[in-house]
Amino acid sequence: MELDEFKAFYQAHFELVPDKSGPDLEEMLQTRSHTAIERILRNLLLEVGTALVFMLVLAFVMITWSSTVFRWVGGSLVILGIIQMVTFIRQYLQLRNQLNWSLGSVKQYLVGMEAIISRFVLLYYRYCMRSIPVGMVIGGILGAYVGVTGDTSDPAFSALPEHPGVGFLITSLVLSVLSVIGTYFMLRWYIQRLYGQYLDELKACITQLE
């Protein structure tokens, strides 16, 4: 539901009775599949499903590919995926339970929803931003190991030249920096696209009710 539609619906149904009960709010929100809250819930489930598929693919590759390095890295990603799935499912259930909230005014109800979603978006943003330097450190360690030992026997390093020159090292460094910068902006866009824009819409609804 767009902001204007929500405002019109509120004025038609709640203006004369500002303390409408939770069940009425739940019915109103659940029958509008395009509300900001419903879209956030949908995206939460979408990310849980994507994480599950990602973990299954990783598990298959780790079983079939004889790369020790990839198995260590893939195992770490699977653990992170499990943590993400548990976190997102808990967030989804918390929001669903909030739909059954039955006390207070419409504004109080929306403020409560906004607080839950804001906290989740902030934590998710911090999680993603901290993942970037962690990935850099892991990549740097692997690169330093290959550079110092010259050991490219692991299949994960099979594409690397046996004796990388200065040009290869500079190119790799430039590509790494560009990848980090690109990942940073992509994650910001991604979070805003899936959650931030709907959170902003919810905040605008609260402002309109003041």
DSSP codes, 12-79: HHTSS-TT--HHHHHHHHHT-TTSHHHHHHHHHHHHHHHHHHHHHHHHHHHHHS--HHHHHHHHHHHH
Short-list 75, 54, 52, CA closest to 63 = 75
- pLDDT (tens digit per residue) in 171-194: 878 888 898 899 899 999 999 998
- pLDDT (tens digit per residue) in 49-73: 888 898 888 888 888 887 787 888 8
Residue 162 DSSP class = S
Q: What confidence score (pLDDT) does residue 185 get?
A: 93
Q: What confidence score (pLDDT) does residue 189 get?
A: 93
Whole-prediction pTM: 0.69
- pLDDT (tens digit per residue) in 135-149: 788 777 777 777 666
- pLDDT (tens digit per residue) in 10-28: 444 444 334 444 455 445 5
What six digits make up the tokens of 26? Answer: 């739940």
Average pLDDT over residues 65-92: 84
Whether the CB-CB separation of 67 and 157 falls below 8 Å is answered with no
